[in-house]
Chain A
Amino acid sequence: MIQQHLTLLPVVFPLIMGALILLPPITNSLVRQRNVTLLTSLVLIALSIWMVQIASSGSIQLYYLGDWKPPFGILFVADRTSALMVLLSSILTLGALLYATGGDDKTGMFFYPLFLFQIAGINGAFLTGDLFNLFVFFEVLLIASYSLLIHGGGKQRTQAAMHYVILNLVGSAFFLFALGILYGTLGTLNMADMAARIHQLQPDEQALVKAGGLLLLVVFGLKSALLPLQFWLPRTYSAASAPVAALFAIMTKVGIYSILRVHTLVFGPEAGDLANLIQPWLWPMSLLTLAIGAIGALASPSLRMLASNLVIISVGTLLLAAAIATPQATAAALYYLVHSTLIAAALFLLADVIGEQRGKPGDRFVSARRVQQPVLLGTAFFVSALSLAGMPPFSGFVGKLMLLQASSLPSIASWVWPTLLISSLAVIIALARAGTSLFWRVSGENSATETPPLFKLSGVWLLLLCSPLMVIFAGSITEYTRLAAEQLFNIQPTIDLILQQGAK
């Protein structure tokens, strides 16, 4: 029975567990909440590994909500890409949760249920094949993220939340405008059906659909922090409490995933007159995003801020791949996406530990007392820094390498390569500065306060461990992402599968 509903479980299971945690007897004790949530997250990992395993055979799992066939009912689609994204979110969740057990869960209410709800929303966004349902899951993950952002309280969080929430409200408004336009012209909500119907439009209707598709770019661009919509990110991410910031590392990726999904399936290379609708825009914007991320990284006064700007750089990189819009680039992007999400999350967590151990200066790049666990934290920082800078031997270089290879056409390379490489250099400089300031520029010894509990750091290590593992198994992982990207671009079989099933 479980396998039959496997596609659905990453969404409904955390939702139900989140609700259960709000009820007695679990809600009465934080320890119980912790245990139940950790257990949930372990189950989620198991489920998503299973999903990936099934997806890796190349079969696309369809799940008809309410037993209504597409294009009428809501449809969940688990192909290689979405299964991978779900696995990513599950691993990330476990890392962030382990860290949260170290005390961040106590600084405000409802931490665990909100966390699970957000996961439900994120997974829903990854799995759904219905555009309006995507909107709903966006809202689920957003409202949960608003609530998590303010977790722990404090001026900075409130102010950051104010910006983040209002911008996203405007973004949601655009999403609905876009949905209105698309339904009002295509007459359907299922994305595969949209892709099928897009060929039957009159010229003027095409113009309208174009408007809808471009509005969607704005919406997804806002979520993914595409320039000029990236301004909210550094403040927001660096204000959030560490496990929340770690979880947020995947939020931008939801936007990118949506671009990859929607703008490949509906407005992709096979959309006739509307083919590759967003690519002309994506080119300059992603390059500029990379540039602004690099500038921000160099300007960052603290590790959290730096990590936030690294997220922007990863966004720029990924959207660059989306702009190239070839299976090869997308394969690279998917690998890079997984890597950058996990490591950025680890860096947010690490920044928090480092900040705690350095006393008042926190994670700012100024002289402070020595951290208590210089070797442990230093190594962790080193691993994450090298990964994010795209330096061997950790995971970043594989993604960067593949992306460079994917963009090697002279016309593209002359733009992409310098931007990518120079931003890499900026990251190296920024991270070298960060590392030397945080670990080497010490004044005085650490007055021995209690060392963080084992569990807390295990979250960091879990995430960091993924980096070498992703290098060692890079062969099979990249093979998976290659096939995933091909599946993503080879839309006709998907459309046929979905709509034929519906016709039955």
Chain B
Amino acid sequence: MGLLWIPLLPMLGTLMPLLASRFSRNSIAIFTALLPAIALILLFKQAPAVFSGEVLAVSFEWIPLAGLDVAFRLDGLAWLFALLILGIGQLIILYARYYLSEQDNMPLFYSYLLLFMTAMLGIVLSGNLIQLWFFWELTSISSFLLIGFWSHKSEARKGARMALTVTGAGGLALLAGLLLVGQVVGSYDLSTVLASGDLIREHAAYPVILVLVLLGAFTKSAQFPFHFWLPHAMSAPTPVSAYLHSATMVKAGIFLMARMYPVLSGTELWFLIVSMTGLATLLIGAYVALFKHDLKGLLAYSTISHLGLITLLLGMNTQLSTVAAIFHIINHAAFKASLFMAAGIIDHETGTRDMRQINGLWKYMPHTATLAMVAAASMAGVPLLNGFLSKEMFFAETLQQVTLGSLSWMVPVFATLGTVFSVAYSARFIHDVFFNGEPVDLPKTPHEPPRFMRIPVEVLIALCLLIGIFPTFVVGPLLAVASTAALGGDLPNYSLAIWHGFNIPLLMSFLAMVGGLIIYYNRKHLFRFQAQFPEADAKLIFEWMMQQLVKGCTSIMQKLENGSLQRYIYLLIFLAMILMAGPMIDLNATEGHKSQLPIDNLSLIAAIILAVATLATVLFNRKRLVSIISLSVVGLIVSLAFARFSAPDLALTQLSVEVVTMILMLLALFFLPQNTPKESHPRRLVRDLSLAGIIGGVIGTINYAMITRPLDSISWFFLENSKSGGGGTNVVNVILVDFRGLDTLGEISVLGIAALGIFKLIVRMRLYMPSSDSTGRPWAVGRHPMMLSVVSQSLLPLALLVSAYIFLRGHNMPGGGFIAGLITSVAIIQQYIAHGVDWIKDRLRINYQWLVASGILVAALTGVGSWFFNRPFLTTWYDYFNLPIIGEFELASAMLFDLGVYLTVIGATLMILANLGKLTTNQSPAMKENN
């Protein structure tokens, strides 16, 4: 269980600084350090077991479906990395306490830092590949926050974004790779995977897996050509650079390669990709580092170079080289973290990081200078320091490899060359900063930093020395156990002695040392040579690429999404037609075998009228009023068609809807242009006409094919049960109010909602009200023709009577609440037309909104009523009663439902039409202030 707490404690620790934010800076730092410190202790408590070769593991089920368990696994490799993370983490916390200024949000910084720490621990301790990826991404995210911590700096924002983009992309590749691994192995459990090396290497997907996983590793570890983000991450506060960009995050990629070493390595492909990438990175990083004037820039490229070195070692496919890689991981973490911290102190004390300004600091801060120089010497590989040991091992290994065949000599040569530059930039770091005359224009006068700020550096330098001098004693067991884990088996023989006698690696070291110093001495020529090449700033290029990407995307979107409804409709219909092509081809015979009705002359004439009126609607579409009139003819013929083909209810409904629609169109047309100008390009007309023709043809064909085939439908049930089950003989109406009453409830809701929506549209509408008709003639003077008024008001009672008639008979004969409602509405609208709004408003006080609501409510509650008889919603009830004198009559709950329909229809129609009419009057609808 102790294992579980190791990542868990830092995770809880993210909250500590936030909780402690009210206390002093020291307290915040202490609170922050507390939980990771305990975790570190716990880590040491696991040491005996781990060093004895045990693999500790703990796991719980989390998302079994995705193969994701909460699984932690501690072996030597993980222990080593956890030690780096937690140990250096403690130092960084201490260092940051002094580094951060009063203006910085220290609790937030610490919180981010611990979040990152958690993520790193998660990676190294993961016992499940998916979980590993989970924490992998978490490091990208937390490092984004840390790099961008000084968000007011443009540098920081861009650097953070770049890092996130590159490592994020790598993370996605890694995910794919890990998923493939899981696919091949059949499990995401790390132990299982590590035991399946052969299976993976022999699988067809191995190259893909390898490339994907390596993409993840290379981006994270800043390997060429993905190295460019790392220097720009230097805009982060220095503790971040020291922690993330030397000791931990960039090592995550290395860790991954080491972790997967047993399953992925050992092939030629591995060698080619990994070692060549490492070699290139090593050279480029070392070369560029020399030319950086920025202190942290130099360190960043140096880091890239050393990461390249480790990668190269891992790529060489030998056990010893792997041991060397692990060893160098430790050493690099120690000297590079201390160098970054020293750089931070210098930056902190001088106010700049430009080495052209910073000179001769030896005088001002000898203590710090000593520390930094030791670290830099270690970086250069000076004997008696830790860097020297792993470098020797590296040289030795470069001499062993033969995979490149006759070109194998290149590896040691380039390795030496890389080290030459490494020595050169180390020399530059030492000479240029601490000697080389007096400082130039420093913003501050430098002096030694606070006592405690130096302690972390001192600890790390001590480590460098101790390892350098007593390697076997200090680091031997750790290296052994970590290497065993990385190799996934037995350890090779190696010696950690300082002195191996005069041999080629020593010669190479010597050459490198001398060569480096020579190069540094002649740096002026080299700088001049380098100055010929325009400096390609990765950040600028990256930003430019991003901008081009955004620009490109924007122009694509502007071209595609041009705001033209016509195009969208066209696409919609076009797509539908494309999809229809297949079925139309499949359709062998358009005509079916059902016997067809003969054409009678009236139907023919009606069809002709329909066709002519339809064409007239289209052809006159620019004269809008004429278009409306033609449209009503179409509607009329459609109603007649319904009547002709045995659907009286539909005919009635269509007729009433028709008139209301026409009134509505007239009301709206008043505020719209009366005519449509001619603007369609002939080509567009042809295009639209062809599409319209095709869809018309397709729909017509489908229709013909459908209605000439026999149908076996469920309708018999309704005909059989209408009377007995629904209590009505008009089957259509019984379907509407009973069998499918819910449709009707939905339908009146739609109507009611439309009324509300239209009211919303009308309220506060700014109007274009023409004072004359389209020909410029002023409107007629008389508002309400007398004859119309007189006749309309006399028709009103009659119309109401008719609607009562239609309503009451609906259940047994054509009719019903909807049609009745429309008739009532039309009658009332006719009063509006004939008498005007002012006249009506004193005489008719109906709140249409309430009418709509109560209509829906009546219908819905009628449905609910059946619950009290233990029946589902909308179960109808009917019965026949016998009263003296009056005789037998029927009562049905469906009538109450229909009443709801009736009320809604009236409410909605009038809410729409009357309010629309009121727009031009002083009764114009306004939004109620209802609070």
A and B touch in the complex (CB under 8 A): yes
A residues at B contact (CB < 8 Å): 1, 4-5, 8, 12, 15-16, 18-24, 27-31, 33, 63-68, 71-74, 106, 108-110, 113-114, 117, 120-121, 124, 132-133, 136-137, 139-140, 143-144, 146-147, 150-151, 153, 162-163, 166-167, 170-171, 174, 177, 180-181, 183-185, 187-189, 193, 202-208, 210-211, 214-215, 217-218, 221-222, 228-229, 231-232, 234-235, 281, 292, 295-296, 298-299, 301, 331, 375, 386, 391-393, 397-398, 401-402, 404-405, 408, 410, 417, 421-422, 424-425, 428-429, 432-433, 436, 439-442, 474-475, 478-479, 482
Given known contacts A68-B738, A408-B180, what 4 new A-B pairs fall within 8 Å (CB)? A28-B930, A170-B572, A229-B575, A432-B165
B158 CB, nearest partner CB in chain A, Å? 8
Contact across chains for A432 and B161 when beta carbons are under 8 A apart: yes
Q: Which residues of A contact B175 (CB under 8 A)?
A: 401, 404, 421
Residue of A nearest to B930 (CB): A30
A214 to B814, CA, bound (A): 36
Report yes or no: A203 in contact with B65, Cβ–Cβ below 8 A. no
Which chain B residues lie closer than 8 Å to A405 at the CB level?
66-67, 179, 182
CA A120 to CA B746, docked complex, whole Å: 9
Q: Is B557 touching A408 in the complex (CB atoms < 8 A)?
A: no
CB distance A166 to B569 under 8 Å? yes
Q: Tell me which residues across on chain B come within 8 A of A71, comparing CB atoms.
A: 714
CA distance A63 to B556 in the complex (A): 49
Across the interface, do B927 and A167 meet the contact criterion of CB distance under 8 Å?
no
Q: How many angstroms between the C-alpha atoms of A66 and B175 in the bound complex?
A: 53
Residues of B within 8 A of A482 (CB): 65
CB-CB under 8 A from B141, the residues of chain A are 386, 391-392
Q: Which residue of A lies closest to B550 (CB)?
A: A298
Whether A208 and B702, one on each chain, are in contact in the complex, defined by CB atoms closer than 8 angstroms, is yes
Do the beta carbons of A188 and B853 come within 8 Å of each other? no
Contact A8 B706 (CB under 8 A): no
Q: Is the beta-carbon distance between A217 and B754 smaller than 8 angstroms?
A: no
Cβ of A228: which chain B residues have Cβ within 8 Å of it?
A: 571, 575
User: Closest CB of chain A to B19's CB: distance in Å?
Assistant: 14
In the bound complex, CA of A84 to CA of B367 (Å) = 66
- Contact status of A1 and B554, CB under 8 A, knowing A167-B572, A188-B714, A408-B183: no
Q: B840 in the interface, Cβ–Cβ < 8 Å?
A: no
When the two chains form the complex, which single residue of A108, A184, A214, A402 contacts B65, counting CB atoms closer than 8 Å? A402
Across the two chains, which residue of chain B brings its CB closest to A168? B572
Cα distance A235–B562 when bound, in Å?
11
- Known contacts A65-B742, A143-B753, A166-B565; A218 and B579 CB within 8 A of each other: yes
Q: Report the minimum CB–CB distance from A368 to chain B (whole Å).
A: 14
Interface of B is mostly: helix
CB contact between A143 and one of B137, B754, B864, B931 (< 8 Å): that residue: B754
Known: A19-B853, A408-B179, A429-B546. A146 touches B872 (CB 8 A): no
What would be 25 A-B contacts, judged by CB atoms less than 8 Å apart? A5-B873, A12-B860, A19-B857, A29-B931, A30-B931, A67-B871, A72-B739, A106-B931, A110-B760, A114-B753, A167-B572, A170-B572, A177-B699, A185-B711, A204-B592, A214-B579, A229-B572, A296-B553, A296-B557, A299-B557, A391-B140, A393-B138, A404-B176, A405-B179, A433-B550
B785 to chain A, nearest CB (A): 35
B552 → A minimal CB distance (Å): 8
Residues of B within 8 A of A440 (CB): 148, 151-152, 157
Q: Bits for B61-91, please: 1 = Cβ < 8 Å to A, else 0.
A: 1111111100000000000000000000000
A474 to B67, CA, bound (A): 12
- Judged by a CB distance under 8 angstroms, whether B712 is at the interface is yes
CB–CB A187/B712 < 8 A: yes
Q: Determine the residue in chain A with the shortest Cβ distance to B852.
A: A22
Q: Knowing A74-B742, A184-B707, A214-B580 are in contact, say whether A392-B713 is a contact too (CB < 8 A).
A: no
Q: B592 — which chain A residues lie within 8 A by C-beta?
A: 204
A397-B137 contact in complex given A133-B743, A211-B580, A402-B65, C-beta closer than 8 Å: yes
Instruction: Give the Cβ gap from B18 to chain A, nearest Cβ, in Å.
Output: 10
Give CA–CA (A482, B67) in the complex, Å. Answer: 13
Q: Which 10 A-B pairs have the closest CB atoms?
A: A147-B757, A187-B713, A30-B931, A22-B853, A440-B151, A207-B586, A136-B746, A299-B553, A211-B583, A298-B553
Separation of A232 and B163 alpha carbons in the complex (Å): 35
B589 to chain A, nearest CB (A): 6
Complex partner residue of A432 from B66, B144, B567, B759, CB under 8 angstroms: B144
State whether B760 touches A147 (Cβ < 8 A): yes
Residues of B within 8 A of A398 (CB): 63, 66, 68
Nearest chain B CB to A43 CB, angstrom units: 15
Give the complex CA separation of A177 and B579 in angstroms: 14
Distance in angstroms from A451 CB to nearest chain B CB is 20
**Judging by beta carbons under 8 Å apart, are A479 and B928 in contact?**
no
Chain B, interface size: which category?
A: 35 or more
Shortest C-beta distance, A111 to chain B (Å), equals 9
B889 CB–A CB distance under 8 Å? no
Residue-wise, chain B 900-931 has the 8 Å CB interface mask toward A (1 for contact) of 00000000000000000000000000011011
Assuming A228-B571, A405-B67, A474-B62, is B853 touching A23 (CB within 8 A)? Answer: yes
List, in ascending order, chain B residues with CB within 8 A of A136's CB.
742-743, 746-747, 750
Taking a contact as CB atoms under 8 Å apart, the answer to whether B168 and A425 are in contact is yes
| Contact in complex: A417, B739 (CB < 8 Å) | no
A171 contacts across to B, CB distance below 8 A: 572
What residue of chain A has the Cβ atom nearest to residue B151's Cβ? Answer: A440
User: How far does the alpha carbon of A474 sit from the alpha carbon of B549 in the complex, in Å?
Assistant: 35
Cβ–Cβ contact B572 & A65, under 8 A: no
Kindly list chain B residues whose C-beta atoms are within 8 Å of the C-beta of A401. Answer: 66, 68, 130, 175, 179
Q: When each residue 140-151 of chain B gets 1 if its CB lies under 8 Å from chain A and 0 otherwise, what string results?
A: 110010001001
Query: With A and B bound together, what is the CA distance between A23 and B108 in angstroms?
Result: 52
- CB closest residue in chain A, given B589: A204
Check A150 against B873 for contact (C-beta < 8 Å). no
How far is A109 from B758 in the complex, measured between Cα atoms in Å?
11
Known: A110-B759, A113-B756, A170-B569. A295 touches B742 (CB 8 A): no
Give the contacts of B695-751 with A (CB-CB under 8 A): 699, 702-703, 705-707, 709, 711-715, 717-718, 725, 738-743, 745-747, 749-750
Given A19-B857, A20-B857, A124-B746, A208 and B63 touching (CB < 8 A)? Answer: no
Contact A143 B750 (CB under 8 A): yes
Instruction: Say whether, besides A167-B572, A436-B160, A204 and B705 are in contact (CB < 8 Å).
Output: yes
CB distance from B875 to the nearest CB of A (A): 4
Q: Does B135 sit within 8 A of A, measured CB to CB?
A: yes
Please give, as numbers and ranges, the residues of chain A lying within 8 Å of B66 by CB-CB distance. Answer: 398, 401-402, 405, 474, 478
Assuming A12-B873, A229-B571, A298-B550, is B714 touching A187 (CB within 8 A)?
yes
- Are B553 and A391 in touch, CB under 8 angstroms? no
B746 adjacent to A133 (CB under 8 Å): yes
Q: Does B573 contact A (CB under 8 A)?
A: yes
Q: Is B561's beta carbon under 8 Å from chain A?
A: yes
Q: Are A66 and B853 within 8 A (Cβ)?
A: no
With A27-B930, A72-B717, A72-B739 known as contacts, the answer to whether A150 contacts B760 (CB < 8 A) is yes
How far, in whole Å, are A259 and B480 apart by their CA atoms in the complex?
A: 59
Q: Decide: A215 and B872 in contact? CB cutoff 8 A.
A: no
CA distance A398 to B64 in the complex (A): 11
Determine the chain A residues whose CB is within 8 A of the CB of B589 once the complex forms: 204
Chain B minimum-CB-distance residue to A34: B931
Within the complex, the shortest CB–CB distance from B498 to chain A, in Å, comes to 44
A interface footprint on B750-772 (CB within 8 Å = 1, 0 otherwise): 10111011011101100000000
Contact status B756-A208, CB under 8 Å: no
A295 to B550, CA, bound (A): 8
- B866 proximity list for chain A (CB < 8 A): 67
- Are the C-beta atoms of B850 and A23 separated by less than 8 Å? yes
Partner of B172, one of A133, A146, A425: A425
A281 contacts which of B137, B579, B587, B756 (Cβ < 8 Å)? Answer: B579
Contacts of A133 in B (CB 8 A): 740, 742-743, 746
The complex places the Cα of A20 from the Cα of B179 at a distance, in Å, of 54
Residue of A73, A208, A404 touching B587 (CB-CB under 8 A): A208
- Smallest CB gap from A232: residue in B: B568
Residue of A nearest to B875 (CB): A67
